[in-house]
Structure 1
Amino acid sequence: MPIVLLIIVGAAAGFIATRVMKVQADMLTTIAIGVFGALLGGLLLRVLLTMTGWMAGFVGAVLGAMALIWLWRTYVGRI
């Protein structure tokens, strides 16, 4: 995925994940959560479900961002 597309998808996924998980975060943190979540979730979803296409990547990005928020809350501290 090109870097610009990764940032755009990551920003959208981070926004959705922070709203679903009720996290108050600034824009840079939201984008970072989404981008890292996109990497994590996109990879896991594609490997586990062998799905392709941008929609699978987007769903994986949202799920990955939510997993990253959960890991952060559980092991590092409260957001």
Structure 2
Amino acid sequence: MGIVWLIIIGAAAGFLATRFMNVQTGVVETVLIGMAGAVIGGLVLRFMLAFMGAIGGLVGAVLGAMLLIWAWKAIRDS
């Protein structure tokens, strides 16, 4: 069930992050961005806040995915 939950949260986070950052990606890229963002955001939030639960995970995943998109755009455009 953990993998399924990670894919669902990753898809939601990737979708939100790509819309907030105005990036056009395919379904697979969106899910991968969201999953990577979930890992990044989860680590950051665990160290910075004691924020638990599904909403906290989604917020962290979206923030992490947005950070990943920003870094990707910065590297790609340079």
* TM-score, length of structure 1 as denominator length: 0.91
Q: CA deviation at 1:60?
A: 0.2
Deviation digits for residues 12-48 of structure 1, max 9, x if unmatched?
0000000110001000000000000001101211221
In structure 2, the partner of 1:16 is 16
1:39 aligns with 2:39: yes
Aligned-residue CA RMSD in angstroms? 1.3
* TM-score, length of structure 2 as denominator length: 0.92
- Structure 2: tracts of 5 or more residues without a match: none
In structure 1, the partner of 2:25 is 25
| One-letter code aligned to 1:45 | L
In structure 1, the partner of 2:54 is 54
Matched-pair contact (CA < 8 Å) for 1:10–1:61: yes
> How many correspondences in the alignment?
77
